[in-house]
Structure 1
Amino acid sequence: MQIPHDTRRALDVVVALVNTAAEVDHPDALADIGALRAFVKEYAISDVGELGARDLAGVRAVRGKFAQVFAAPNSRAAATLINELVATAGTTPQLTDHDGYDWHVHYFAPGASVGDHLAADGGMALAFIVVSGEQERLRRCEAPDCRRAFVDSSRNRSRRYCDSRTCGNRLHVAAYRARRKEAGAEASEQEQIVHGGEQQQGADHS
């Protein structure tokens, strides 16, 4: 699937934000304002002022909305959620080439909070996916002990895991071991049948 660079980057931020939520195997990665500052820095989110408790609450709320989009059963449900997101954020599209980047579009309004910033840019990136008829690419990892979000960019929508090198390989190894164990059990059972038959033949001859 061909995704414009700016949209791809916005989707990466959406996925990263969704995956900060607490899961069975890890705590909330946005537990405090310090964690939010680190997230903003890591993903180079521009035009962000001093962050406070209200910003943290706002970003967590947006995170929850993004997660709902990934869980949406169909494109209509996803579209409804996205429309609510971008309407609340107050999108104001404008071209910019800040900090040496090529021309690209910012959808958040000047002076927007970091939550509205993420909702506007992330919401429009998700809108691109829905408009392209690709809502099914917004997925969760199928590994039984992982629920991380990801965007399936494979040509035939075949990606099943958030990371093939970790979850994918782990599942393949587990399946291989299960097959070997099953094959070993079948061989042992067959051997017992053979030995049982031999013992019965010996008893008959005696």
Structure 2
Amino acid sequence: MKALPSQPKTAPHQPRHLHLRGRYEQTATLVDMDVVRIDHYKWWAIGLAIALANSDPDIAGTETLDSAAAIDQLLRAHGATEVQVSEDDLPHLRRIRPYLLRAVRDPAPDRAAPLLNHVAAEAGATPRLTNHDDLPWHIDFHTPASTAWRHIAAEAAAALMGFLIARGPDRIRLCSARDCHRFYADTTKNNSMRYCPDRGCANRERVRRHRVRNG
């Protein structure tokens, strides 16, 4: 999904969907006939999936997914705009979040598969070939009429599944910073990430090492 598709203005009665056009234009790789390479297309959602797992109180230390505004902030941090979320989405996202966290903590496919399959089933994930919102052809995994939490859960589960198959479980790691307990997905070509990308952990560790070296 590079946008959970929004409907054209001529059909206002139809459901609205997540827009992720900005991040899509920055990260997607196109091939012949304006078709999005599935692996590149999905990687926007791997960050969202792991961020959702990292929001668990076991990782964050407190409940950060505590309002519709918190869901909106999480989505916008990963390029999503114009999504209609509500307080009703909260209990459902909290319910599927432990499955994502367990899959991230132990991403070996034989153990992650039943967890991610469960999330996908809960979300009613249904692969669809689409070119909504003037985007190139790609695969979405949510159903257009579903609620926001189902959109998020379907795309998060599909992204983790695809990432594990395409890149391998060793690319999902715990941040190496001493004061961080968050997970991240290494999407670099040379498998070089050692820190989560969202909290400045790499910079803090460089400063710490510099201070140690210089007394």
The normalised TM-score by structure 2 is 0.69
Residue in structure 2 matched with residue 119 of structure 1 by the alignment: 153
After the TM superposition, which segments of 4 or more aligned residues of structure 1 sit over 6 Å from their partners? 23-26
Deviation at 1:50, TM superposition (A): 5.7
CA, structure 1 residues 177+3, in 2 after alignment: closer, same or farther (shift >3 Å)?
Answer: farther
Deviation at 1:176, TM superposition (A): 3.3
Q: Number of aligned pairs?
A: 178
The aligned runs of 1:174-193 (5 Å cut-off) are: 174-181=208-215
Deviation at 1:57, TM superposition (A): 0.8
CA, structure 1 residues 164+117, in 2 after alignment: closer, same or farther (shift >3 Å)?
Answer: closer
**More helix, by proportion:** 1
Q: How large is the RMSD of aligned CA atoms in angstroms?
A: 3.0
Alignment pair present for 1:33 and 2:62: no
Matching residue within 66, 84, 89 for 2:100:
66
Q: Which runs of 5+ in 2 are unaligned?
A: 1-36
Q: What letter matches 1:68 in structure 2? A: R
Q: What letter matches 1:77 in structure 2? A: R
The aligned runs of 1:19-168 (5 Å cut-off) are: 19-22=54-57, 27-40=62-75, 43-44=79-80, 51-53=86-88, 55-72=89-106, 74-132=108-166, 134-163=168-197, 166-168=200-202
The whole-number CA distance in structure 1 between the counterparts of 2:76 and 2:207 is 37
Matching residue within 36, 42, 50 for 1:7:
42
Q: Percent identity?
A: 31
The whole-number CA distance in structure 2 between the counterparts of 1:109 and 1:125 is 16
Question: Is the contact made by 1:62 and 1:118 (CA closer than 8 Å) also made in structure 2?
Answer: no
Deviations 1:108-149, CA, capped at 9 Å, x for gaps? 223222222222111111111222351111122121211222
The whole-number CA distance in structure 1 between the counterparts of 2:69 and 2:61 is 18
CA, structure 1 residues 180+41, in 2 after alignment: closer, same or farther (shift >3 Å)?
Answer: closer
CA, structure 1 residues 165+3, in 2 after alignment: closer, same or farther (shift >3 Å)?
Answer: farther
Question: Is the contact made by 2:130 and 2:138 (CA closer than 8 Å) also made in structure 1?
Answer: yes
Larger gyration radius, structure 1 or structure 2 = 1
The normalised TM-score by structure 1 is 0.71
The whole-number CA distance in structure 2 between the counterparts of 1:110 and 1:24 is 32
The whole-number CA distance in structure 2 between the counterparts of 1:24 and 1:74 is 20
Deviations 1:25-57, CA, capped at 9 Å, x for gaps? 7754321123224444554267x656233x111
